[in-house]
Amino acid sequence: MLITAIWVTLKLATITTIILLLLSIPLAWWLANMQSRIRPILEAIVGLPMVLPPTVLGFYLLLLFSPNYAAGQAWLSLTGSTLAFSFTGLVVASVIYSMPFVVQPLQRAFEQLDKGLLEAAAMMGAGAMDRFFNIVLPCSRRALVLAGCMGFAHTIGEFGVVLMIGGNIPGETQVLSIALFDAVESQSFEMAHQIAGGLLLFAMVLLVFLYSLDRRSGKSSGSRVC
């Protein structure tokens, strides 16, 4: 049971992180360079999961996934199954729930990037895509690592949303945080210790890695941008 929960959790966090990076990199670049007055509104929408109780998000997602509404209906007719109480549903929810933790560090790095470098690259004949892939992304690699780690760790730590829309199906939607809750409920404290201790250790190791990364690159480059 523990192994299955670890497998589901890691699979969920990995898939979520990959999807999040693919979505967040263009989104963060767009937000960072946006002049429009609707920018704060978009930033607020992306940032909502940071302040909203996870259960609120879970509740609305549950409604959205339900075949009684258009989105859930469309998904059902397309795939033949519902999103609620499925692994795919968990991925969708995790992407939304962890998005601010990935978008925000990226957006900050993109905003701090010296635009003079991009002008210099343009004068050498580098087009927009060329500049993005060969200057912007390499110069933001620390933020990329940070964003990926934050997205991964935050997905592992989620509980409320999973409980609302995923339930507790072993091998499908039972992640470690739910398994821990389950173990405490059924008074299997030995199991609870293993899960809680493991998650604590994981969080600690990840944070030490992130902070040492910050220190290392800060020293070697001497610049905050790259």
Partner 1 sequence: MLNISLQLPRDRFLLDVDISLDGDSIWAIMGRSGCGKTSLLRAIAGLESGAKGKISFHGQVWLDTDTQMCVAPEQRRIGYIFQEARLFPNLDVMGNLQFARQRACRRDNTFSFSHVVEQLGIDHLLGRRIQALSGGEKQRVAIARTLLNTPDLLLMDEPLASLDWTSKTTILPILRNLQKEFGIPVIFVSHAREEVARLADNMLLIDHGRVKLQGECRRLFISMDSDLISDDGALSILEADVTDHDEDHGLTELSLGRQKLLVNWVNAEVGTRLRILLPAQEVSIATEDLDCLSIQNRLAVTVETMKELGNRNVLLSLSTEGQTVQAVVTCRAVDMLGISIGKPVFAYFKASCLNVV
Give contact residues for partner 1 (rule: CB under 8 A): 114, 116-117, 119-127, 130, 134-135, 138-139, 141, 220-223, 225-226
DSSP state of 134: I
Residue whose pair of structure tokens reads 């991009």 in the numeric block? 118
DSSP state of 53: -
Q: Which residues of 167-185 are buried (b: 16+ CB within 10 A; e: fewer)?
A: bbeeebbbbbbbbbbbbee
Beta carbon nearer to partner 1, 122 or 199: 122
Beta carbon nearer to partner 1, 119 or 185: 119
Beta carbon nearer to partner 1, 193 or 215: 215
The CB-of-114 to partner 1 minimum distance in angstroms stands at 8
The CB-of-131 to partner 1 minimum distance in angstroms stands at 8
DSSP state of 224: S
The CB-of-202 to partner 1 minimum distance in angstroms stands at 31
Beta carbon nearer to partner 1, 79 or 134: 134
Q: Which two tokens stand for residue 95?
A: 């992407």
Rg (CA), the chain: 20
The CB-of-150 to partner 1 minimum distance in angstroms stands at 22
The CB-of-126 to partner 1 minimum distance in angstroms stands at 6
Beta carbon nearer to partner 1, 121 or 199: 121
The CB-of-120 to partner 1 minimum distance in angstroms stands at 4
Q: How far is CA 213 from the centre of its chain?
A: 19
Beta carbon nearer to partner 1, 119 or 214: 119
Secondary structure of residue 37 in the 3-state scheme: coil
* CA–CA separation, 177 and 155 (whole Å): 10
Task: Return the closest-CA partner of residue 155 out of 84, 101, 213, 210.
Answer: 101
CA atoms within a 13 Å half-sphere pointing along the CA-CB vector of 45 = 7
